[in-house]
Amino acid sequence: MSAARGNAEDSSAVAVVGGGIAGLTLALALRREGVDCTVFERSPEPAGSGAGLQLAPNATRLLRRLGVADALHAVAVLPRALRLRGWDDDRPLATTALGAACLRTFGAPYYTVHRGQLHHVLREAVGAGRLRTGQRLTAWTEDEDGVCLTFASGARHRAGVMIGADGVHSVVRARMAGDTPVFSGSSVYRGLVPAERLPWAAGEPEIRVWPGPGRHLVCYPVSAGREISFTATVPAAVSGEESWTADGDPAELAAAYRGWNPAAVRLLAAAGPVRRWLLHDREILTDWVTPRVALLGDAAHPMLPFLAQGANQAVEDAVTLAVCLARTGGDDAPAALRRYRDLRLPRTALIQRGARGATRFLHRPGPAGPRASGPPPDPRGPAGLRAMSPLYGYDAEEVAEKAMREPVPWRAVSRPPVS
């Protein structure tokens, strides 16, 4: 693709709005394809918040091909298993092998990683030359050749296409879809604990999930094993004015998990400062492209974190979009964006719905009290790892390459069949 017409000194083929996981991965994928791009990030010092993320093989195989495998491996942890445990007695209830089993089954690792460190790895790989920080997009105009972007700083930029990778509060989506966030009825507390304070968690690395009455708790090691990250979900009411994120109150968090097993109680008591998120997603869009603008990552399909797939899907989006743009050769950017949408929208819609439904497995009904009999069903299915093939076995790059070799299907010229 070539740069759009306009001021040659400040133009690029692709302008990416948002330097989060989606935007930075797209920059890497476009560079590999030889497509010129510039990433605009509103924060002066993009950092990524201090909490954990699970990265599954559907994303790690793509990140490896983008050249960040070693840097990622150096900061990540390879958990040996995901184990469901009793909320009241910590008894193991069900186990899904990860570690070597995941590598054998899917040919790529399952990692847990500190979000800030993943962000750093991506930023280093992209390089300062392609990333402009302190640039908040405020307005844009689209014409038949491209997009003219305007930033709060007064800077302007001309691009052949603009990609809104600006997260769940996306301004690009606001204009395209005009929809509002949907509150889930839950909030999550996230925090980090130095591993030496929790010898039981630092021993064999695993993802521990305690499904409980109306809430659940997840923890796993990050930062090459030096810290334990946790996510504690609790029911919440929300008022219109309340901010989505805030400092969490450790006393409120402790009270929400009173009566839980001693390991869980110690984990929460050992945390330093905690942050609290009111969990929102949005309704599934039926379209997320115009001829010269597309959404990517959370801007396109914000999902509840209960399948741990939001960032993984952002990586899949980025690689797919880069392949679509590169294989159309820049002659027909609108067609490339439509192919990207048709490849990604049905899959991400399915996962968005799955994430909403996952509380059925994670939250047991009824108030905290005597445990109901029997273990809860394993959200990853009785067949364990193999049952995760549709998610973890998916190779977004292979799918996109194959689609771009085939003739344009009728769907690519109309809206995708998603209800």
Ligand X SMILES: Cc1cc2nc3c(=O)[nH]c(=O)nc-3n(C[C@H](O)[C@H](O)[C@H](O)COP(=O)(O)OP(=O)(O)OC[C@H]3O[C@@H](n4cnc5c(N)ncnc54)[C@H](O)[C@@H]3O)c2cc1C
To the nearest whole angstrom, how small is the minimum distance from the Cβ of residue 288 to ligand X?
Answer: 12
Q: DSSP of 254-271, one letter per residue?
A: HHHTTTS-HHHHHHHHT-
Nearer to ligand X, 19 or 146 (CB): 19
Interface stretch with ligand X, choices 72-80, 123-131, 309-317, 374-382 (CB under 6 A):
309-317
Residue 281, interface with ligand X (CB under 6 A)?
A: no
The footprint of ligand X on residues 375-404 (CB under 6 A) is none
To the nearest whole angstrom, how small is the minimum distance from the Cβ of residue 113 to ligand X?
Answer: 9
Residue 221, interface with ligand X (CB under 6 A)?
A: no
Residue 54, interface with ligand X (CB under 6 A)?
A: yes
Interface stretch with ligand X, choices 5-13, 162-170, 366-374, 378-386 (CB under 6 A):
162-170
Cα Dmax for the chain:
69
Residue 53 and residue 310: Cα distance in Å, rounded?
10
| Residue of the chain from 50, 116, 160, 167 that contacts ligand X (CB under 6 A) | 167
Residue 12, interface with ligand X (CB under 6 A)?
A: no
CB-based contact 26:37 (threshold 8 Å): yes
To the nearest whole angstrom, how small is the minimum distance from the Cβ of residue 317 to ligand X?
Answer: 8
Residue 286 and residue 279: Cα distance in Å, rounded?
22
Residue 290, interface with ligand X (CB under 6 A)?
A: no
Interface stretch with ligand X, choices 34-42, 91-99, 259-267, 395-403 (CB under 6 A):
34-42
34 in the Ramachandran plot: left (φ > 0), alpha (ψ -120 to 50) or beta? Answer: left
Residue 305, interface with ligand X (CB under 6 A)?
A: yes
CB-based contact 139:17 (threshold 8 Å): no
* Residue 2 tokens, joined: 């070539």
- 173, burial (CB in 10 Å: exposed 0-12, middle 13-18, buried 19+): buried
Number of residues that bind ligand X (CB under 6 A): 33
To the nearest whole angstrom, how small is the minimum distance from the Cβ of residue 24 to ligand X?
Answer: 8
Does residue 220 have an active-site annotation? Answer: yes
Nearer to ligand X, 116 or 213 (CB): 116
Residue 137, interface with ligand X (CB under 6 A)?
A: yes
What's the sign of the alpha-carbon dihedral 67, 312, 96, 368?
A: positive
Label the pairing between strands 156-164 and 11-17: parallel
Q: DSSP of 47-109, one letter per residue?
A: ---S-EEEE-HHHHHHHHHTT-HHHHHHH-B--SEEEEE-TTT--EEEEEE-HHHHHHHHSS-
The residue annotated as part of the active site, out of 110, 189, 220, 394, is 220
| Residue of the chain from 15, 22, 63, 391 that contacts ligand X (CB under 6 A) | 22
| Residue of the chain from 29, 30, 37, 42 that contacts ligand X (CB under 6 A) | 42
Residue 142 and residue 148: Cα distance in Å, rounded?
7
Label the pairing between strands 81-85 and 92-97: antiparallel
Q: Using CB under 6 A as the criterion, which residues of the chain lie in contact with ligand X when the complex forms?
A: 17-23, 40-43, 46, 53-54, 136-137, 165-167, 171, 188, 190, 231, 277, 297-298, 305, 308-312, 314
Q: Would you name the residues annotated as active-site residues?
A: 220
